[in-house]
Structure 1
Amino acid sequence: MMKYRTEHTNTVSAEYGKEQGNPFLEALPELLGKAEFVERMKSEIHFPYDLPERSPQERRNYLTELTTWFQPMDYMYNLYDMLYRAMSATYQTKTVVESVRQLNEIYMDFRTGRERTLNYSTQAYSGAVLGVPGIGKTSTIQRCLSTMPQVIIHTKYQDKQFYTKQINYLVVECPSDCSVKTLAFNILSAIDRAIGSEYFTQAGSLKSISSSALTTRLKIICMNHHIGLIVIDEIQNAIQTAARNKQTRPLIKFLVELTNETSTGICFCGTLEAEELFMKQEHLKRRTRGLRLLPMKFDMTYRKFISSLWEYQATLQKAELTEKLMKQIYDLSAGIPAYIVKIVQEAQAQAILSGREKITYESIKQAVSYLGIEVPKVYSRGGTSISDFTVQEIEFETIGVDDMDGSEIEIECSVVEESKVITLPVVLEAKQTEETVIQPQEESETLTESTTEPVKRFYASKRGRKHRERDKADLVSIWKQNESAEYLIQTLGTYQMIERRCY
């Protein structure tokens, strides 16, 4: 049974599995499987059954619910797995003793100014998730993190009093004029919202506080509450402001020190504009590796997305989603999910307003014009399309097959999600008589069917030459008519395609 199943708030009481000396790591919730992750992430909307009988004003109002519709994709589970492992890596070596020792080192440096000797913990996780605007980075990260509690309250561990508040994650957004001080204040504000403290008010009352003193105060607070991961959203704002004010070096130093000296994981989130600065600095380059997300391709992922969205029509006449219409919407949106939802929503509103009461290509073009959507035809190639992520959960089970002599042969079979068939080689160890493997007839037929079934390719490009009609004298056509050597030789002789030699 999974922990924290019955909780509906962001703050929970700690539950431990085996108490092995690391309460922060042991209190983390379990990593979800793909099926349960999809169930928690998806957000469906329900139009009323009598929607056609409602007035045009009411039906247009129901269209606003499309903004709350959310469909999980495979890349989202990859992102969830990355965020969970980032938190887990923070607590991997952070025992109570290590935390106190690390806190004392920073406190002594703050009070005396002496040089620190960093002899604790390993380096925390540091990475970045960059992508095209509208692809769903922020909403996906927020939904991924919402599947686990934000704050865990510890009161007792190993029969001893142990009171502390563990903050698993924080999400901080950079304002347009972000500086080192502003970013530090935003992190303090996020901590206050999570646990109800007043760190922001206390720091703000010190009008003459320097950036270095504020940074040190923030490091101590991060370690006091054992923050596992800080997600810094819209990081391109901080980078652009720092470059404009020629403060790039202090910003980079602040981010690097926050990661190294607190062992708190950092995940940067933003557009691909931030990649330029990340690539210029070598020590920042290795700390910002991660996902680079590009729009959907015109493949099965896009078809599933648009088909699911197409079911929510508030017009009186239901339009059919044809292949041509799918291609037109893709060309106008470039495969960006946010644009696709906006286009379908506004196209229905325009159809209702005009009285046509049906989605057409004209209403879609009009919606794109009103929304001012202009997308480039080609995006940066230094990334991965969200269509290229594939997550498959494979469960292995052992099946016993009785041999003729009564011995049992073990065969490993796999069950794959989403009806994606993967053919695995089956190896049978049995006694051979006259170079023939003896098998029961029913089992042999079953194994033959499972191993000869072709692999389904949903989104891969079909390779090879195009199929064409073959001539009746073609060797492949002759062989397919009757797969026997005698018939092949006889037919080749009929067409005078065989040469006989006498020796």
Structure 2
Amino acid sequence: MNNLAQYTPSPIPDYAGNPLIEALPPVLAEMDAARAIAHFPALAPDERLFSKELRLHCVDRLKDLIQPLPIHLELESAVSSILRTGYVSRNPVNAGTWRHLHTLSTNRRDLALFHSSASTFSLVGLSGIGKTTALNAVLSLYPQKIVHCRYEGREFLHTQIVWLKIECPFDGSLSGLCHAFFKALDKALDEPGRHSARFRSKGGIMEMIHSMEQLASTYFIGALVIDELQHLNAAKTGGKENLLNFFVNLINSIGIPVVFAGTNSMINLFADVLRNARRACGQGMYDFRQPSEADAAWNMLVDVIWRYQWIQKPAPLTPELRKVLYDLTQGVTDFLAKLMILGQRYAMQANIETLNEHVFRHIADTKLKLLKPAIAALRSGDTAAMKRFEDLLPPDEQLDALMRNESSVSINQLAALHINKAVNVIAEVPQVRAERPEPDAVSQVSRKIASDADPHVALAEQGWLAKDVLEFSDTYHAVT
């Protein structure tokens, strides 16, 4: 989908006269940002009257619930700022910007007098705490692709990629990062294979890096978001430093803001090199901390998610149930959503049709039992144990498997279905008495010969005996 540029002049002098900034949506007030980020799925009262099968589908809407929290608004403000400030030094109206692009294309950066205005920030937190969901919600406030045609009466044909989000490769390699970049860029441009098929590693990693930097500049990428940065811990010797230095080069030499997101273990990556640590915290580090049981934001989230009950006997949210929900999730939002979804599924399929402590603890001990070691580490409050939280989590594939909807129909019920159907079929088949067919003439002659005192004579009388033993031979017919 092409978003044609519509320009809104900015009252901020630094932003004025810059088509890349003026084509962005307006800067939002906090409450406007909260309304834009929020997503509250529909829940009509009469849906609780639906059949169990239909209500099981409705429960899955909880996966899409987004309740804005204060940190969402801080994140929105940070993204809004780095996008605009990053474009200040890359104004396409200025001749210096095109000189900079030319030096990048010829790889003669020593001739460029370029002063980057790009900044950066980091986003850290526990797995499942809501980092990626929050980041995606904020990025969705901006069109990813903007097509420019004319600006201030002059022809300005250009495609602007406002943001690009990629995941750090599992092996923490530069080549893997480049491949991920090319694929993400093709997706943003809606041109599959345009760059990912063209730029291979045959020419060497340096050629891929140069191509990546050039494309990032050519499309005026507003911000490059690197998620799952903790994968750098798996990089080979020297790999971390190479990749971090590459990011620093993007910010300083290319002028592209970079946002880093990952788990708490990511912090150590930047602590190794102070220079990288300072740059990674250009606009601060946003920490999605584990909330306490009394945290106001956590309790607001529990209040909101509790309203989404498709069971036939909705339960009130008591202080005791609040304690149970926190105890079984330890404030991890993804665990809370899973507990509410699976709890309602179980209540429906077991014909309980209400939520209580028994239901939640049953789910924790069965469907979510793989999460128990990780939750126990958080519950302990022990620093050493809590550092092992990520290692104790099951793989993503197993987490996805936990959410599969299982049938509540027993084997006996399925067997009874076959028996009942077989009985009905037998009852419906009409009982028809078989009638003996009338014997034909040949059959009558055969029986007469068989009952004769001398069957041989009877066969001869009927002409059924061959007089010449060779009368059916091919050789006989050939010579006669």
TM-score where L is the length of structure 1: 0.69
Alignment correspondent of 1:267: 259
Letter in 1 for 2:275: H
Residue 415 of structure 2 is matched in structure 1 by: none
2:289 matched residue in structure 1: 294
The equivalent position to 2:22 in structure 1, one of 22, 26, 33, is 26
Amino acid at match of 1:276: N
Post-superposition CA distance 1:423-472 (Å, at most 9, x none): xxxxxxxxxxxxxxxxxxxxxxxxxxxxxxxxxxxxxxxxxxxxxxxxxx
Query: Residues of 1 paired with 2:299 and 2:274: CA distance?
Result: 40
1:335 equivalenced with 2:327 (yes/no): no
Instruction: Report if aligned partners of 1:94, 1:121 keep a CA contact under 8 Å in 2.
Output: no
Amino acid paired to 2:261:
C
1:389 aligns to what?
Answer: none
Q: CA deviation at 1:123?
A: 4.4
Give the deviation of 1:117 after TM superposition.
4.2
Report matched runs for 1:77-88 at 5 Å.
Answer: 77-88=73-84
Shift of 1:217: 1.2
Distance 1:163 1:322, change over 3 A: same
Q: Residue deviations 1:150-174, cap 9 Å, x none?
A: 1222211232211111111111122
Alignment deviations for residues 356-392 of structure 1 (CA, whole Å, 9 cap, x no partner): 221110111111122123311238699xxxxxxxxxx
d(CA) in 2 for partners of 1:136, 1:58: 28
Q: Distance in 2 between matches of 1:73 and 1:115?
A: 43
Task: Please give the secondary structure, in 2, of the residue aligned with 1:267.
Answer: strand
1:203, 1:214 within 8 Å by CA — same for their partners in 2? yes
**Pairing 1:4-403 to 2, within 5 Å after superposition:** 11-17=3-9, 20-96=16-92, 97-109=95-107, 116-197=110-191, 198-204=194-200, 208-237=202-231, 239-242=232-235, 244-289=236-281, 290-297=285-292, 298-369=294-365, 370-372=367-369, 373-374=371-372, 375=375, 376-377=378-379, 378=381
| Contact 1:98-1:121 within 8 A present in 2 as well | no
What is the distance in 1 between the residues matched to 2:119 and 2:254? 11
User: Counterparts of 1:171 and 1:365 in 2: how far apart (Å)?
Assistant: 38
In 2, Cα distance between equivalents of 1:138 and 1:380: 24
Structure 1: state its 5+ residue gaps. Answer: 1-8, 383-503
Instruction: Give the CA deviation at 1:54.
Output: 2.5
Amino acid at match of 1:256: V
Alignment of 1:383-462 (within 5 A): none
Q: CA deviation at 1:50?
A: 2.9
- 8 Å Cα contact 1:135/1:336 also seen in 2: yes
Q: 1:32 to 1:123 in 2, by over 3 A?
A: closer
* Aligned-pair CA distance for 1:144: 0.6
How big is each residue's C-alpha offset from its partner over 1:319-346, in whole Å with a ceiling of 9 and x where there is no partner? Answer: 1111111012112111111111111221
Identity %: 23
Q: Is the 8 A contact 2:7 2:19 kept in 1?
A: no
Which one is further off, 293-302 or 337-346? 293-302
Given that residues 2 and 147 in structure 2 are in contact (C-alpha distance below 8 angstroms), is that contact kept between their aligned partners in structure 1?
Answer: no
Q: Give 1:213 deviation, angstroms.
A: 1.2
The CA distance in 1 between the partners of 2:295 and 2:169, in whole Å, is: 36
How many angstroms does 1:142 deviate by?
0.9
Instruction: Say if 1:24 and 1:379 are closer, same or farther in 2 by CA, change over 3 A.
Output: farther
Aligned-pair distance for 1:291? 0.9
Post-superposition Cα deviations, 1:40-96, rounded to whole Å, max 9, x if no partner, equal 222122234333432223222221111111111111010010011111111112222
Partner SS, residue 128 of structure 1: strand
Contact 1:99/1:223, CA 8 A, preserved across alignment? no
3-state SS, counterpart of residue 53 of structure 2: helix
Alpha-carbon distance in structure 1 between the residues aligned to 2:329 and 2:382: 13
Contact 2:38 2:66 in 1 (8 A): yes
Contact 2:145 2:162 in 1 (8 A): yes
The 8 Å contact of residues 89 and 97 in structure 2, kept in 1 or not, is answered as no
Alignment-mate amino acid for residue 241 of structure 1: A
SS at match of 2:203: coil
Distance in 2 of aligned mates of 1:380 and 1:227: 39
Whole-Å separation in 2 of the counterparts to 1:169 and 1:332: 37
Distance 1:332 1:321, change over 3 A: same
**C-alpha separation between the residues in 2 aligned to 1:130 and 1:264?**
21
Question: 48-57 vs 222-231, which deviates more?
Answer: 48-57
**Could you report, residue by residue, the CA deviation over 1:220-247 in whole angstroms, capped at 9, with x for unpaired residues?**
111111111010111111x1231x4542
Mark the structure with the bigger radius of gyration.
2
- The answer to whether the Cα contact below 8 Å between 2:87 and 2:118 also exists between their aligned partners in 1 is no
C-alpha distance 223-329 of structure 1, shift in aligned 2 (>3 A): same
Q: Match of 1:240, as an amino acid? A: N
CA distance in 2, matches of 1:213, 1:123: 26
Deviation of 1:349 after TM superposition, in Å, equals 1.6
Q: Does structure 2 conserve the Cα–Cα contact (< 8 Å) formed by 1:128 and 1:269?
A: yes
Q: Aligned partners of 1:11 and 1:17: how far apart in 2?
A: 18
Structure 1 distance, partners of 2:90, 2:251, is: 14
Shift of 1:307: 1.2
The residue type paired with residue 137 of structure 1 is K
Counterparts of 1:270 and 1:212 in 2: how far apart (Å)? 26
Moved over 6 A (4+): 379-382
Q: Please say if residues 12 and 149 of structure 1, whose CA atoms lie closer than 8 Å, have aligned partners that are also in contact.
A: no
Runs of 5+ unmatched residues, structure 2: 387-480
Aligned mates of 1:329, 1:247 — CA distance in 2: 41
Aligned partner letter, 1:50: D
How far is 1:189 from its partner? 1.5
With over 3 angstroms needed to count, the CA separation of the structure-2 counterparts of 1:162 and 1:320, relative to structure 1, is same
* Residue 117 to residue 147, structure 1, CA distance change in 2 (3 Å): same
Query: Counterpart of 1:208 in 2: which secondary structure?
Result: helix
Residues 173, 186 of structure 1: 8 Å contact kept? yes
